[in-house]
């Protein structure tokens, strides 16, 4: 890809990713005000089961479409045989998953949430699994032809539709309790997925002819799609199965530690549905770039351009590390104020402070996982994901009854360190890159801690609070931090080029 086009796509995807996550956080803040931590915990359990069924319908196929269509364009072949086979695979798996979720909704609701009252939620969500699969395929195509704008627009359109529909329904049904609110939210989820699929199909029909012309068709056997998609899909599916089992087990394990089930659900909701989305919000840029880099690093590796692969890897890892540590530091020292500002909750604020050191690990894991998929390491990604989920599930079963919330926080720390270190190790090995620990880790961490703490003390002495405190804190902290980063040449203009 030409550099200006890559930068344009990076800016588009980053902006859309930031907008999407910001809208998501704002909406969750509003929903949390309606149903509280317990309601958010229930909704998170419903979604975790839904994501498990969705994982079977398009996770690996999307990556396969991106890579194979990019290869087709590089050798001037018609990629539509790839799209056709991907759609058939996705349709089969999606319909199968949706049927199970629909017809066994009562059993799933009883098992996952502890009550059959939420069976309608699962019935409604089952109708969106097929659209999710088709959307994954079409988005994979648009990534391969470097049309990030279409994918970004579809995401914003989908999230906007979800929020508008859910907002209207939640306002109507919120007086009737948590079950009614969860059902309203699932209707918004399903309707937005269907609308997004239609949006992308229309754009695909309009734009596909531009890329095929008179090119001969690409000879695409089923094995070419399955070779890439199966390990990723199997890994994602098995990992999601284990992760869903973990999510279902967490409230029950917390209950065994000595608290009632309602409080256990509230704690679970505070972590999964309220604290983690805020911590992950800053990763928008890197998740967007890692998606764009998959076809680039794949093409470079296939052409044996080792210096290009090495350069991409080293620059992205360095930038990820430098940016992530400042966010970790600000969450550590300003988490209580952020939790109070967003959720009117001291508990969520304390969780933001406690979980702040995980931010660099989560950022590195997101980026490394995307890059190693572009380097044809699907099997490694599969085993890394599955082993992590299996360890987490076993730890939840044995540690939570004895140690409660403290045990779960320990599990989260171990899990993020485990996956980030494995993915980073494999990425460095495959790319033959290296990490300058002084400039990429040590100095940024020192700068971030000193500046973040000093700014907190200064603003507290002045007497600022609420939104003014948080805004001033981030403006001052980021200005001073990045000034030092450029002053000490941790990042140069050449790096940004």
Lowest-confidence pick of 96-105, 227-236, 419-428, 435-444: 227-236
Domain final position from 220, 246, 269: 220
- The DSSP secondary structure of 151-213, one letter per residue, reads HHHHHHHHHHHHHHHHHHHHHHHGGG-HHHHHHHHHHHHHHHHHHHHHHHHHHHHHHTHHHHT
Task: Count CB atoms within 10 A of the CB of residue 293.
Answer: 22
Query: Is 190 found in the same domain as 290?
Result: no
Token pair listed for 136: 């994954």
Angle at 11 between CA 6 and CA 16, to 5 degrees: 125
Query: Is 305 found in the same domain as 216?
Result: no
pLDDT tier at 357, thresholds 50, 70, 90: very high
Q: Is residue 231 part of a domain?
A: no
Provide the 8-state DSSP code for 220: -
Q: Is residue 250 part of a domain?
A: no
- The count of domains in the chain is 2
β-partners of residue 12 are none
Token pair listed for 351: 């969780």
Residues 234-259, mean pLDDT to the nearest whole number: 84
For residue 422, pLDDT over 70 is answered with: yes
Predicted pLDDT at 186? 94
Predicted pLDDT at 141? 80
Predicted pLDDT at 57? 66
Q: Is residue 11 part of a domain?
A: yes
pLDDT tier at 89, thresholds 50, 70, 90: confident
Query: Is 429 found in the same domain as 296?
Result: yes
Nearest to 302 by CA among 39, 71, 5, 142: 71
Residues 67-89, mean pLDDT to the nearest whole number: 74
Nearest to 283 by CA among 416, 142, 95: 416
Predicted pLDDT at 243? 85
For residue 46, pLDDT over 70 is answered with: yes
Tell me the residue range of the domain where 19 lies: 1-220
Predicted pLDDT at 139? 83
For residue 290, pLDDT over 70 is answered with: no
The answer to whether 309 and 375 have CB atoms below 8 angstroms apart is yes
Residues 38-57, mean pLDDT to the nearest whole number: 87
The answer to whether 396 and 252 have CB atoms below 8 angstroms apart is no
For residue 148, pLDDT over 90 is answered with: no
Q: Is residue 455 part of a domain?
A: yes
Q: Is residue 227 part of a domain?
A: no
3-state secondary structure of 491: coil
For residue 230, pLDDT over 60 is answered with: yes
For residue 259, pLDDT over 60 is answered with: yes
Residues 484-490, mean pLDDT to the nearest whole number: 92
Spatial separation of the C-alpha atoms in residues 30 and 21, rounded to whole Å? 14
Choose the most confident range, by mean pLDDT, from 77-81, 191-195, 375-379.
191-195
Query: Is 267 found in the same domain as 203?
Result: no
Predicted pLDDT at 64? 75
Residues 91-109, mean pLDDT to the nearest whole number: 92
Q: Is residue 239 part of a domain?
A: no
C-alpha dihedral over 212, 82, 379, 440, to 10 degrees? Answer: 20
Residues 366-391, mean pLDDT to the nearest whole number: 81
Spatial separation of the C-alpha atoms in residues 271 and 413, rounded to whole Å? 13
Spatial separation of the C-alpha atoms in residues 59 and 71, rounded to whole Å? 19
pLDDT tier at 414, thresholds 50, 70, 90: very high
Query: Is 195 found in the same domain as 267?
Result: no
Residues 173-181, mean pLDDT to the nearest whole number: 88
Q: Is residue 237 part of a domain?
A: no
Lowest-confidence pick of 95-104, 144-153, 226-235: 226-235
Spatial separation of the C-alpha atoms in residues 61 and 80, rounded to whole Å? 14
For residue 198, pLDDT over 90 is answered with: yes
Nearest to 320 by CA among 312, 310, 308, 330: 312
Predicted pLDDT at 487? 93
């Amino acid at each position: 890809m030409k550099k200006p086009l890559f930068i344009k796509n990076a800016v588009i995807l980053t902006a859309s990713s930031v907008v999407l996550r910001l809208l998501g956080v704002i909406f969750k803040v509003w929903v949390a005000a309606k149903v509280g931590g317990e309601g958010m915990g229930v909704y998170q359990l419903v979604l975790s089961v839904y994501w498990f069924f969705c994982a079977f319908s398009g996770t690996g196929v999307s990556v396969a479409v991106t890579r194979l269509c990019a290869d087709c364009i590089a050798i001037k072949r018609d990629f539509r045989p790839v799209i056709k086979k991907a759609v058939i695979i996705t349709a089969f798996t999606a319909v199968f998953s949706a049927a199970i979720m629909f017809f066994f909704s009562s059993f799933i609701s009883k098992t996952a949430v502890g009550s059959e009252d939420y069976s309608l939620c699962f019935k409604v969500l089952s109708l969106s699994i097929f659209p999710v699969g088709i959307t994954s395929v079409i988005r994979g195509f648009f990534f391969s032809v470097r049309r990030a704008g279409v994918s970004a627009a579809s995401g914003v359109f989908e999230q906007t539709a979800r929020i508008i529909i859910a907002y209207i329904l939640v306002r109507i049904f919120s007086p009737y309790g948590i079950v009614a609110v969860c059902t309203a939210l699932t209707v918004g989820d399903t309707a937005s997925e269907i609308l997004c699929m239609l949006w992308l199909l229309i754009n695909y029909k309009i734009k596909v002819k531009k890329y095929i012309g008179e090119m001969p068709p690409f000879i695409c056997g089923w094995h070419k799609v399955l070779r890439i998609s199966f390990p990723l899909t199997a890994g994602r599916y098995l990992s999601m199965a284990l992760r869903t089992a973990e999510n279902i087990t967490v409230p029950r394990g917390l209950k065994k530690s000595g608290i009632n089930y309602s409080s256990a659900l509230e704690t679970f909701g505070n972590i999964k549905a309220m604290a983690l989305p805020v911590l992950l919000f800053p990763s928008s840029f890197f998740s967007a770039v890692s998606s764009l880099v998959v076809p680039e690093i794949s093409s470079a590796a296939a052409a044996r351009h080792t210096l290009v692969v090495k350069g991409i890897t080293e620059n992205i890892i360095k930038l990820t590390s430098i940016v992530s540590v400042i966010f970790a530091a600000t969450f550590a020292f300003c988490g209580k104020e952020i939790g109070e500002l967003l959720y009117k909750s001291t508990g969520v604020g304390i969780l933001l402070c406690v979980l702040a050191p995980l931010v660099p690990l989560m950022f590195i894991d997101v980026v490394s996982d995307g890059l190693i998929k572009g380097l044809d390491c699907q099997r490694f990604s599969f085993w890394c994901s599955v082993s992590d989920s299996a360890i987490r599930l076993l730890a939840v079963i044995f540690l939570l009854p004895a140690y409660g919330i403290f045990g779960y926080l320990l599990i989260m720390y171990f899990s993020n360190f485990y996956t980030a270190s494995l993915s980073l190790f494999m990425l460095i090995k495959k790319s033959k890159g290296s990490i300058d620990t002084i400039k990429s880790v040590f100095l940024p961490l020192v700068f971030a801690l000193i500046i973040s703490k000093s700014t907190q003390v200064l603003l507290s002495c002045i007497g600022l609070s609420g939104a003014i405190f948080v805004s001033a804190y981030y403006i001052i902290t980021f200005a001073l931090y990045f000034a030092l980063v450029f002053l000490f040449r941790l990042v140069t203009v050449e790096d940004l080029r």
